[in-house]
């Protein structure tokens, strides 16, 4: 049936319709997690807002489940619907920067590196994650942590307006003055209400220079070093984002990322002597663009992956010990500091929750052999469970397979009720449910 109606769909498109067997079909359905091998009935590579409208209406006419792909970083492959219609936003990568107004308009299929490169030409930037091949849409709609967040807020705090295609195929705009309730929900509520085809961001004059400080300790000396690192974080300047990680090599790396004039980090570097004597020290100055590309992975769309996360409002000694021991597993764990401008935003201003977070905790593992799936996933779950008693909520973008329980952890009860009401208004039949789903009170129609 799909082949028979192909001409009628293609006549309406500026972009491309891909069916199984077409050149480009397998490439388009391949996402960051190599465990995902689902096969959509059709893929529409949208080259215009009108294509997104056509794709939504086509899916509804054919009663096909909708998946929306931008960067493809969902750990459980939510972009790829089995036997459904995948809307691939990858062709929508246009960006325009107005340096005088300090504004950037970027289409919903762009990756963060596109936004960084366009704005850095003028020494400007906005909070845009830590990995340049992440999609602007998925990151921003869930909140959007990044190296600039302690100075300027989350990515969603820097959005001035959204252009969105609704479940009915209508194109709407949301800002503080236009559809303010939708604007509130898009700032942290994920892809539950529609498909955002353009973001308008506020930019900030950050210059182009950064510094990364890393101090590596053997595991048997990690606990006292982490205690000193935690205490230094209390008074950290907003230019600094503290980080800590333990890899599969059982070495603990503690430090910070500084965005701004590296010379201004000299006092903090001196204070890091309180951590003790590290086995290795790396102090590196680099451009902001290089910082944003630093954690990119060449093999990003081939490895099998599983991850979990928590928000921590405190990091007591017992939590430090649990962090180091990782539930007896050897999977990687990491911490990234919040605070600063993130906490300055009143909690009621956006759907994003848990602004009192001190650190975000993440644990994850990568592998290649499908026979190792169960063992690897169990190890990551043990590591996350070891930190669960210290957790206070979770970042919605860090959720994997937790389902409704995870969504309840991501939002306060009051915000979740407000999000459900917004879902009832914009997507009462839950057309957009391949996400960390806010289920409407009216139920599903699939």
Return d(Cα 366, Cα 380) in angstroms, integer: 10
What's the predicted TM-score (pTM) here? 0.95
Percent over 70 (pLDDT), the chain: 98
- Residue 39: what pLDDT? 97
CATH class, 95-206 region: alpha beta
Q: Which residues contact 51 (CB under 8 A, 6 or more apart)?
A: 13, 14, 15, 44, 45
Q: What is the DSSP string of 104-118?
A: EEEETT-BHHHHHHH
- Residue 299: what pLDDT? 55
- Could you give phi then psi for residue 42, rounded to 5 degrees? -155, 155
Q: Which helix (H) or strand (E) holds 198?
A: strand 195-202
- Residue 444: what pLDDT? 42
Weakly modelled stretches of the chain, pLDDT under 50: 444-446
Return d(Cα 151, Cα 131) in angstroms, integer: 18
The pLDDT tens digits of the residues spanning 80-105 come to 999 999 999 999 999 999 999 999 99
> Does the domain made of 6-88 have the CATH classification 3.30.43.10?
yes
Domain range annotation of the chain? 6-88, 95-206, 209-404
Fold of 209-404: Vanillyl-alcohol Oxidase; Chain A, domain 3 (3.40.462)
- Residue 202: what pLDDT? 98
In contact, 380 and 307? CB cutoff 8 Å: yes
Among 107, 202, 98, 217, which Cα is nearest to 151's? 202
């Amino acid at each position: 049936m799909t082949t028979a109606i192909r001409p009628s769909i293609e006549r309406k498109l500026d972009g491309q319709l891909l069916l199984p067997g077409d050149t480009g079909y397998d490439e388009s359905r391949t996402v960051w997690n190599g465990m995902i091998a689902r096969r959509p009935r059709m893929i529409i590579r949208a080259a215009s807002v009108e294509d997104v409208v056509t794709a939504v209406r086509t899916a509804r006419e054919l009663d096909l489940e909708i998946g929306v792909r931008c960067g493809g970083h969902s750990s459980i492959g939510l972009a790829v619907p089995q036997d459904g219609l995948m809307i691939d936003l990858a062709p929508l990568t246009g960006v325009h920067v107005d340096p005088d107004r300090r504004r950037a308009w970027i289409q919903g299929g762009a990756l963060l590196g596109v936004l960084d490169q366009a704005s850095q030409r003028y020494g400007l930037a906005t909070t845009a994650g830590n990995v340049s091949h992440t999609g602007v849409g998925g990151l921003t709609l869930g909140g959007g942590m990044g190296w600039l967040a302690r100075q300027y807020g989350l990515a969603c705090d820097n959005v001035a307006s959204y252009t969105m295609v609704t479940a009915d195929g209508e194109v709407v705009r949301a800002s503080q003055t236009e559809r303010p309730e939708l604007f509130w929900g898009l700032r942290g509520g994920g892809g539950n209400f529609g498909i955002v085809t353009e973001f308008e961001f506020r930019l900030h004059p950050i210059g182009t220079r950064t510094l990364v400080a890393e101090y590596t300790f053997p595991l048997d000396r990690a606990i006292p070093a982490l205690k000193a690192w935690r205490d230094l974080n209390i008074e950290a300047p907003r230019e600094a984002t503290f980080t800590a990680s333990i890899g599969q090599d059982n070495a603990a790396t503690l430090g910070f990322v500084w965005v701004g004039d590296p010379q201004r980090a000299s006092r903090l570097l001196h204070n890091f002597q309180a951590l003790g004597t590290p086995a290795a020290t790396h102090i590196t100055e680099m451009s902001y663009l290089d910082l944003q590309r630093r954690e990119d992975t060449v093999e990003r769309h081939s490895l099998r992956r599983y991850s979990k996360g928590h928000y921590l409002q405190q990091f007591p000694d017992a939590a430090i010990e649990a962090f180091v021991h990782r539930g007896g597993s050897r999977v990687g764990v990491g911490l990234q500091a919040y605070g600063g401008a993130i906490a300055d935003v009143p909690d009621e201003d956006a759907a994003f929750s848990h602004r009192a977070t001190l650190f975000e905790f993440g644990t994850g593992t990568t592998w290649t052999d499908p026979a190792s799936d169960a063992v690897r996933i169990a190890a990551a779950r043990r590591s996350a469970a070891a930190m669960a008693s210290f957790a206070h909520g979770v970042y919605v973008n860090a959720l994997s397979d937790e389902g409704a329980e995870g969504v309840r952890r991501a939002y306060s009860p009051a915000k979740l009720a407000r999000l459900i009401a917004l879902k009832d208004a914009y997507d009462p039949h839950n057309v957009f449910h391949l996400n960390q789903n806010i289920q409407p009170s009216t139920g599903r129609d699939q």
